[in-house]
Amino acid sequence: MLKTYRDIGGKRDVILTVFAHGWHHSAKPGDTNIESFKEMLAKISASETIAAAQDNREKREILGVYIGWRGDSMSIKYLNSITFWGRKSVAHEVGQQGVTEALLRLEEIVNVRAGFEMENPKPRNSRMVVIGHSFGGAVVFTALQQVMADRFIDSRPGKTYSNSAQGFGDLVVLMNPAFEAMRYSTLFDISQSCGESSCRRYWPDQMPRLAVLTSEGDIATGMAFPAGRVFSTMFETHDTLERHINTSAENKPVPIEIKESKADTTTIGHFEPYWTHRLEPLANDNSRDKDFVLRSLGKGWSEQDYGQQLEFEHVALKHLKRSHPLNPYLNIYVSEELIPDHNKIWGDRVIAFIEDLITISTTPIQAEPQ
């Protein structure tokens, strides 16, 4: 498969989308996650067809990769619920023991064409998106956490803030991820980058690099997870840390307290100090006609401001004034009307929002005018 995809990526531009499933799912034929992922790829393909016509360019090939791992250690219904903590440990081990290499090899596919054009290099219009759900989110984050941190820092030549922050591929999306907020603390700190007098600013061309979406109705990560973590962290030592956030255009650091005990027992999506946005359904959809220009999504993204509500087709993304509006790391608390619980992540409205994020993050750098 890798050779086939590499051959395709060497000849034409592609959008490569990777999905890592969560608990109670697998790579077996007929798994509902596989079918839903296929439907998502079809929708991405439809959007790319429209965008290519609008930009007067060749449509990019849509490639998909489904990462399977043993989400369940037993198949007996109801009894398999007791495997939650064992599978959490396995998810982190899987992420550490090979998924990083696999994802880096997949990333080579979107870079291979640029490597063939050394004499007359063109903008890299191939793109890559990685999505992880539940413990699949833990797999992806564990695999990419250090990579993302390194690239964020490396995107600052001379350790200045002159370049947009880079991530892995073009966008990483974690849906109802099942890992503790403590694991996210490094990315939180470097993205805020607050000194004594100011916090990091971002340029208008800064695209989202990581989007965490967690439902307020997700009992598995909201209640079961912290209940179990209380016992596993009972004998650990925790402190209360002072951190800073950026709350206004004045860009001045505002101190907040981070209780390590809370961060170590609460999932990233339910840890309020790390929230950046709230996602709500729109009362009335912003229906798009056939002439809607998909490229305009990126323009709207680059012009957003503190506390602004950015409206998409079916949902509104509310900035919570806890970071710079263009901070590339989004931790979004989602209305249960959009994602009802831990597993129902494939609703039309939230998938349409993710497709828009993908469009924003994967729009080609340059396109021929119509």
DSSP 178-211: -SBGGGGHHHHHHHH---SS------TTPPP-EE
Q: Quote the pLDDT of residue 94.
A: 73
More confident residue, 186 or 160: 186
Q: What is the mean pLDDT of residues 87-109?
A: 82
Q: Quote the pLDDT of residue 80.
A: 42
Q: Quote the pLDDT of residue 287.
A: 86
The pLDDT confidence band at residue 366, using thresholds 50, 70 and 90, is: very low
Highest-scoring range by mean pLDDT, 35-44, 72-81, 104-113? 35-44
Q: What is the mean pLDDT of residues 86-105?
A: 78
Whether the per-residue pLDDT at 369 is higher than 60: the answer is: no
Alpha helices in the chain (DSSP H): 2-11, 32-55, 84-94, 100-115, 135-154, 185-192, 219, 225-232, 260-263, 296-302, 348-362
CA distances from 353 to 96, 136, 268, 338 (A): 30, 20, 20, 10
Whether the per-residue pLDDT at 105 is higher than 60: the answer is: yes
Read off the pTM: 0.90
Q: Quote the pLDDT of residue 74.
A: 41
Burial class (CB in 10 A: 0-12, 13-18, 19+), 144: buried
The pLDDT confidence band at residue 123, using thresholds 50, 70 and 90, is: low
Q: What is the mean pLDDT of residues 307-330?
A: 96
Q: Quote the pLDDT of residue 72.
A: 52
Regarding beta strands 309-311 and 277-281, do their DSSP bridges make them parallel or antiparallel, or are they unpaired?
Answer: unpaired
Q: What is the mean pLDDT of residues 153-164?
A: 64
Highest-scoring range by mean pLDDT, 131-140, 235-244, 272-281? 272-281
Whether the per-residue pLDDT at 27 is higher than 80: the answer is: no
Whether the per-residue pLDDT at 162 is higher than 70: the answer is: no
Whether the per-residue pLDDT at 158 is higher than 80: the answer is: no
- Token code pair at residue 346: 């494939």
| Exposure b/e, 41-74, CB count within 10 A at least 16 = b | bebbeebbebbbebbebebbbbbbbbbbbebeee
Q: Quote the pLDDT of residue 76.
A: 41
Is residue 280 within 8 A of residue 335, CB to CB? The reply is yes
| 3-state class (DSSP) for residue 259 | strand
Mean pLDDT of the chain: 86
Q: Quote the pLDDT of residue 282.
A: 95
- The pLDDT tens digits of the residues spanning 56-78 come to 889 999 999 999 876 554 444 44
Whether the per-residue pLDDT at 336 is higher than 50: the answer is: yes
- The pLDDT tens digits of the residues spanning 250-297 come to 889 999 999 999 999 999 999 999 999 999 999 998 888 888 888 899
